[in-house]
């Protein structure tokens, strides 16, 4: 029965199914995400929204970090069998910025139309929060945002800053200056996140790679790269 339901999707068109998410009571559009077959099966089985993150390159349960889960009340598929609409009970907020909906910026004016309801930094942690902020700065004015200015200058400038900050950390380390090491490590981390954001690579993937290596010796890990 489950396979029959999943196969109603036209997977030949794409491996990732676009999913529009609405609040079941108000019909407010909260967000748009993607599901692969496994995420859809999990969502159908648990009635809790699971998606496939293109930046994290893995399945994630909505609210796994923040606790702001989505209880699915109904599933609808469109006439072309290639887009899903789900209606949910949103626990907390849908957007990582702490707003109820991800759709809060007016395209033509750039105006922010809704206020932050929840401080999400504690839930997501400073690294993920900084990464998402950098992503948001892609559309900011380079005259008022250093991040936007850096991104607008392109790959060579971004990578030059990574190398520069790595060098400054090394000098601080050689000088045995603890405060300077912390300061330069923070600069290096920020510029590494800018570089990752320019390629839409979530820091979650770095965590996944470190987790993969955790039970593997350094020698075994290096040998595995030769294949």
pLDDT at residue 218 tops 80: no
62 shares its domain with 148: no
8 shares its domain with 47: yes
Q: Per-residue confidence at 139, pLDDT binned at 50, 70, 90?
A: confident
Between CA 205 and CA 212, with CA 207 as vertex, the angle to 5 degrees is 95
Average pLDDT of the segment spanning 28-49: 97
Cα separations (Å) of 74 from 86, 148, 160, 220? Answer: 6, 40, 50, 47
Predicted local distance difference test score (pLDDT) of residue 146: 93
| Residue 225 included in any domain | no
Predicted local distance difference test score (pLDDT) of residue 222: 53
What is the domain count for the chain?
2
Q: What is the pLDDT of residues 42-91, one digit of tens each?
A: 999 999 999 999 888 999 999 988 889 999 999 999 999 999 999 999 99
Q: What is the pLDDT of residues 167-189, one digit of tens each?
A: 999 999 999 999 999 999 999 99
Predicted local distance difference test score (pLDDT) of residue 217: 57
User: Is the separation of the CB atoms in 60 and 53 below 8 Å?
Assistant: yes
| Residue 224 included in any domain | no
Q: What is the pLDDT of residues 141-170, one digit of tens each?
A: 899 999 999 999 999 999 999 999 999 999
Q: Per-residue confidence at 1, pLDDT binned at 50, 70, 90?
A: confident
Predicted local distance difference test score (pLDDT) of residue 157: 96
155 shares its domain with 201: yes
33 shares its domain with 141: no
* Beta-carbon contacts of residue 93 (< 8 Å; ≥ 6 apart): 68, 99, 100, 117, 118, 120
Q: Which domain holds residue 157?
A: 125-217
Last residue of a domain, one of 87, 119, 151: 119
22 shares its domain with 100: yes
Predicted local distance difference test score (pLDDT) of residue 4: 93
88 shares its domain with 180: no
Q: How many residues comprise the chain?
A: 227
17 shares its domain with 115: yes
104 shares its domain with 34: yes
| Whole-angstrom distance, CA of residue 168 vs CA of residue 184 | 6
């Amino acid at each position: 029965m489950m396979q029959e339901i999943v196969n109603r999707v036209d997977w030949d068109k794409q491996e990732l199914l676009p999913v529009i998410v609405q609040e079941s009571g108000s019909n407010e559009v909260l967000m748009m995400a993607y599901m692969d077959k496994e995420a859809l099966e999990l969502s159908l089985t648990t009635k809790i929204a699971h998606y496939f993150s293109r930046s994290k390159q893995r399945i994630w349960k909505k609210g796994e970090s923040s606790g702001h889960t989505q209880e699915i009340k109904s599933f609808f598929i469109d006439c072309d069998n290639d887009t899903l609409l789900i209606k949910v009970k949103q626990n907390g907020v849908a957007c990582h910025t702490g707003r109820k909906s991800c759709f809060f910026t007016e395209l033509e004016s750039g105006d922010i139309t809704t206020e932050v309801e929840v401080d999400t930094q504690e839930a997501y942690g400073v690294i993920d929060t900084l990464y998402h902020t950098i992503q948001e700065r892609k559309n900011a004015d380079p005259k008022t945002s250093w991040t936007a200015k850096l991104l607008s200058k392109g790959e060579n400038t971004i990578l030059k800053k990574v190398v520069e900050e790595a060098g400054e950390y090394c000098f601080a380390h050689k000088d045995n200056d603890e405060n300077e090491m912390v300061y330069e490590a923070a600069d290096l981390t920020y510029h590494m996140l800018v570089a990752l954001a320019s390629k839409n690579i979530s820091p979650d993937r770095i965590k996944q790679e470190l987790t993969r290596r955790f039970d593997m010796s350094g020698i075994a890990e290096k040998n595995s790269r030769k294949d």
